[in-house]
Structure 1
């Protein structure tokens, strides 16, 4: 995601550039399609502000969470979607090996970027670091599920 985009630009893309039509999204949100269409336009063109009450339903309806990512970024937070893990099906050693591989790859890309800070190297390191954060969330979820499966004995 481009971190330089404004929230209004991302809102426009969320409303107007996805698989669903403006009419379908408006129907799911329970608002008029005309209002939704105008809310996605820049304020100087439409004069309409998008109500915060509809932001979460909009993101769920479109499956586009770029607005949430941008808000988190502006506020200095990292946003990682928590993965769905039903039951631990992977062996612990495989989890460790996979986690080690992805972190090693990200360290290599970080070094490459710091040695030569180009746009291409920047994009690669950001993608690799995001992959580490995602894998960390998966490992955390795995650990929680694994721990919940263990009985605690109190003596």
Structure 2
């Protein structure tokens, strides 16, 4: 039972930019927590704490977006990095630099994450192996690494050079 839960957790975690999202959530919590000081300190700070709280909440939402919608990871990563950089100026040095550094790291990890390509299906154990025919194959010339008219490219998203 416990092993099954651990496998499901690992599969879920590996299918999304988990660490980038975690660092973004931690950065947002750090940036949010500093202006939410005791009431006596908050009264002295005034309205200046509102941007800090809003930036922290947005960073937490972006980290959760990367977890639960991995297709939006690029946008979430770029926005997290931009907000973390803006928090450096607008929010107590970005959570005394800790929030900004965690946000930049998390945004970079979210942006850089790529999904694993699906594993190829193994051949059936009793499948007949085709025998090579004695006549030559003229579809691909021997000096060409790819068939004419196609381009081999390892990018899983299908970008062309």
Which category of TM-score, normalised to the shorter sequence, fits these structures?
under 0.3
> Which of the pair has more CA radius of gyration?
2
Q: Relative contact order: is structure 1 or structure 2 higher (C-alpha 8 Å, sep ≥ 6)? A: 2
TM-score (normalised: structure 2): 0.27
- Please identify which structure carries the higher helix content: 1
